[in-house]
């Protein structure tokens, strides 16, 4: 019996006891009612109709993890957005938002963002270790990283952040890590970094999860990663997946990534998407996989998707079996966290947003056309 069933049943049993005090039942009838209530979480009202009692908070926060339908997420959502942006995403069929900002922001600003999301009926995957200060880095480290500086988990800082936000109903999950720390000042390609020796380890991820769960045990954990060499999985990826500690993996398969000015693997979703999902499910059967599709550009690193490439990616992703979610990166405005890029989907990517909306309206019809 699940923890949620126990909680709901406990509530239901109390209801039945009160009900039986006001009506006369034979002992056998009471036993049958209590057994039914315990295992279903349901009771019968005095008029004979059935009611289902409210689910626990744990169910509300993790319930979608057991859903068989595809969940649609918009990533890279800026902290300062007009209300219309939230409404437009919700109307289009987006259910969950993801952020590129985190505990460097004030709690007041974060709560204002969460309030708008809640008002629009949206949930949020929010920083729970994604950001650089969660791992002991400072603003100065981006331009002048001390030699040999590696990620060091900041337990007290993160727990204080989680404790300040955990009661907000818009939070769906904690975003615990991005590509093993490749987004940090010690990540790949950053001056002064000795990557991959500065990679976040499995033990650090386990510790981060334990520290967050100590404050908020109700929400799932989300981790971002990209694909691996299909001929041989790297040991750190194998170890993470085999541990089964991550509830949701956002699999970043960006077909618009540039290597030396040329698209590195434009058919990555079509060619390897099913393989990646199958492998994750094989090693970590309970982990949900959300495939992240490129819907952005970044000068010199990510090429602007064409209508053809986006449609190809959407159709390829929709055909993948056992996929739990599809995410789009990103909404923006990116300039809110990176002054080198002015991407803002509803303004600089109107054609891309139109295709996404058309897809979300009827994915199966979109694929068939």
pLDDT digits 0-9 by tens, 111-161: 999 999 999 999 999 999 999 999 999 999 999 999 999 999 999 999 999
Task: Inform me whether the pLDDT recorded for 52 exceeds 60.
Answer: no
Give the confidence band of 192 by pLDDT, cuts at 50, 70, 90.
confident
- What is the chain's alpha carbon radius of gyration, rounded to the nearest angstrom? 23
Arithmetic mean of pLDDT, 80-101: 97
pLDDT tens for 330-361 read 999 999 999 999 999 999 999 999 999 999 99
Neighbours of 89 (CB within 10 A): 29
Look over the chain and give the mean of its residue pLDDT values, rounded to a whole number: 86
In terms of domains, do 176 and 47 share one?
no
Q: Could you tell me what percent of the chain has a pLDDT over 70?
A: 82
In terms of domains, do 14 and 79 share one?
no
Q: Give me the pLDDT at residue 290, please.
A: 98
Domain boundary among 32, 55, 78: 55
Task: Inform me whether the pLDDT recorded for 286 exceeds 80.
Answer: yes
Arithmetic mean of pLDDT, 16-45: 41
Task: Inform me whether the pLDDT recorded for 12 exceeds 90.
Answer: no
Number of H helices, E strands in the chain: 13, 12
Domain boundary among 55, 72, 95: 55
pLDDT tens for 252-267 read 999 999 999 999 999 9
Give the confidence band of 191 by pLDDT, cuts at 50, 70, 90.
confident
In terms of domains, do 167 and 316 share one?
yes
In terms of domains, do 72 and 141 share one?
yes
Task: Inform me whether the pLDDT recorded for 228 exceeds 50.
Answer: yes
- Residue appearing with tokens 């986006």: 310
Q: Give me the pLDDT at residue 326, please.
A: 98
Q: Which domain holds residue 19?
A: 3-55
In terms of domains, do 19 and 67 share one?
no
What total number of domains does the chain contain?
2
Tell me if 185 sits within 8 A of 132, measured CB to CB. yes
pLDDT tens for 201-220 read 999 999 999 999 999 999 99
Q: What is the CATH number of the domain that holds 64?
A: 3.20.20.80
In terms of domains, do 48 and 91 share one?
no
Backbone angles phi, psi at 19, to 5 degrees: -65, -40
In terms of domains, do 190 and 335 share one?
yes
In terms of domains, do 243 and 289 share one?
yes
Task: Inform me whether the pLDDT recorded for 50 exceeds 50.
Answer: no
Alpha carbon separation from 44 to 15, 31, 37, 38 (Å, rounded): 10, 14, 9, 13
In terms of domains, do 304 and 238 share one?
yes
Q: What is the four-CA torsion angle of 146, 178, 165, 342, rounded to 10 degrees? A: 90
In terms of domains, do 286 and 231 share one?
yes
In terms of domains, do 105 and 44 share one?
no
Six-digit token pair at 43?
């009771």
In terms of domains, do 14 and 88 share one?
no
């Amino acid at each position: 019996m699940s923890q949620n069933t126990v909680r709901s049943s406990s509530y239901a049993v109390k209801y039945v006891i009160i009900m039986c005090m006001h009506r006369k039942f034979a002992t056998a009838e009471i036993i049958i009612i209590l057994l039914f209530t315990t295992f279903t979480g349901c009771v019968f009202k005095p008029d004979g109709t059935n009611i289902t009692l409210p689910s626990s908070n744990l169910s509300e926060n993790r319930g979608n993890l057991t859903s068989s339908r595809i969940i649609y997420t918009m990533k890279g959502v800026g902290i300062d957005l007009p209300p219309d942006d939230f409404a437009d995403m919700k109307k289009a069929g987006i259910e969950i938002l993801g952020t590129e900002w985190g505990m460097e922001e004030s709690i007041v600003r974060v709560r204002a963002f969460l309030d708008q999301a809640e008002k629009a009926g949206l949930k949020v995957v929010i920083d729970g270790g994604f950001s650089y200060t969660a791992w002991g880095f400072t603003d100065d480290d981006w331009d002048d990283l001390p030699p040999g500086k590696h990620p060091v988990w900041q337990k007290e800082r993160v727990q204080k952040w989680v404790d300040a936000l955990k009661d907000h109903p818009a939070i769906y999950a904690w975003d615990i890590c991005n590509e093993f720390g490749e987004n940090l000042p010690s990540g790949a390609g950053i001056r002064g970094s000795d990557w991959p020796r500065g990679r976040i380890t499995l033990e650090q991820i386990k510790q981060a999860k334990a520290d967050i769960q100590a404050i908020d045990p109700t929400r799932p954990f989300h981790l971002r990663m990209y694909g691996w060499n299909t001929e041989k999985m790297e040991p750190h990826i194998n170890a993470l997946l085999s541990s089964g500690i991550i509830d949701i993996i956002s699999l970043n398969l960006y077909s618009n990534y540039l290597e030396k000015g040329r698209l590195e693997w434009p058919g990555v979703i079509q060619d390897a998407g099913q393989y990646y999902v199958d492998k994750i499910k094989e090693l970590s059967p309970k982990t949900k996989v959300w495939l992240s599709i490129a819907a952005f550009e970044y000068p010199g690193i990510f090429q602007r998707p064409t209508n053809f490439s986006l449609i190809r990616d959407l159709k390829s992703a929709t055909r993948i079996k056992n996929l739990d979610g599809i995410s789009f990166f990103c909404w923006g405005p990116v300039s809110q966290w990176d002054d080198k890029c002015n991407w803002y989907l509803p303004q600089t990517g109107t054609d891309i947003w139109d295709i996404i909306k058309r897809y979300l309206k009827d994915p199966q019809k979109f694929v068939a056309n």
